[in-house]
Amino acid sequence: MCLILVAWRVHADYPLVVAANRDEFFRRPTAAAARWADAQQVIAGRDLEAGGTWLGIGEGGRFAAVTNVREPGKPQGVRSRGELTAAFLTGRQSAAGYAATIDGAAYSGFNLLLGDGHELWYASNRIDAPRALAPGIYGVSNHLLDTPWPKLATARQRFAEALPQLPAEAAFFDLLADDEIVPDEHLPATGVSLEWERRLSAIFVRSPDYGTRASTLLVCHANGSGLLVERTFGLEASGAGEVRLAIPSPR
């Protein structure tokens, strides 16, 4: 996933709100968001190649999402980053406890957001140590948390403007669908070609073999209930479907 926006304890009625785009090669097999057959407490999409997920929610308000760090030419980690989210969602550790156990050397560069219903943590194997996040609005793409890339700055502003409109969803999906390319003079330099910097500068990424595969809105109510809405896309940004999954409140 290449863009995650999170509002943590900002909205009075919705303590956790997440809007995210997952960018991936179209050839990589993927299952749409659903309850996992082998872990019914988890609602998430699934990477059918490595078995993990890019974003999901589990029992008791457990939340996890991951992006890669764009580092062309660096050696690949031996383990899939999607394992990080899957293991947390199926486990029972606190966000802080889980973050402390991660062997960062086993993975390519990652950004990981972990919520346990009480705290929200950020972990990355490109920073010194995980840290708890205070209430606020955060964004991460393919560098560190809140790196002010143009697309992230734009997305955070529009995300903040959409929050007061909840439970309306349209503004969130409108921002996730924004495919405007950033002018060359504002592009970051991340080690890829200029052509790819342009393509990847958009919130919604389009290219013949790689692009935004899913746009997700996750809204968790103060009473513990919630809703996950996922829109999926195929080649040439063609709509492939939408799923709406209710999260029941704890009994």
Q: How far apart are CA 201 and CA 215, in angstroms?
A: 16
Looking up tokens 């919705």 gives 14
Closest C-alpha among 91, 16, 33, 37 to residue 59: 91
Q: What was the pLDDT predicted at 1?
A: 62
pTM: 0.96
**Structural domains for the chain:** 3-247 (3.60.60.10)
- Report pLDDT for 251: 64
- Write out residues in the chain with pLDDT < 70, as ranges: 1, 251
> Which strand (E) or helix (H) includes residue 85?
helix 82-90
Q: What is the DSSP letter of 174?
A: H
- Distance CA(242)–CA(230), nearest Å, equals 6
Give one word for 40, left, alpha or beta, with left for phi > 0 and alpha for psi -120 to 50: alpha
CB 17 within 8 A of CB 4: no
3-state secondary structure (DSSP) of residue 207: coil
| Interval 176-232: pLDDT, tens | 999 999 999 999 999 999 999 999 999 999 999 999 999 999 999 999 899 999 999
Per-residue b/e over 147-185, b at no fewer than 16 CB within 10 Å? eebbbbebbbebbeebbeebeebebbbebbeeeeebeee
* Bridge partner residues of 33 (DSSP): none
**Mean pLDDT over each residue of the chain, to the nearest integer:** 95
Q: How high is the pLDDT of residue 49?
A: 94
pLDDT in the model for residue 162: 98
Exposed / middle / buried, residue 35 (Cβ in 10 Å: 0-12, 13-18, 19+): exposed
Residue with tokens 């996950």: 228
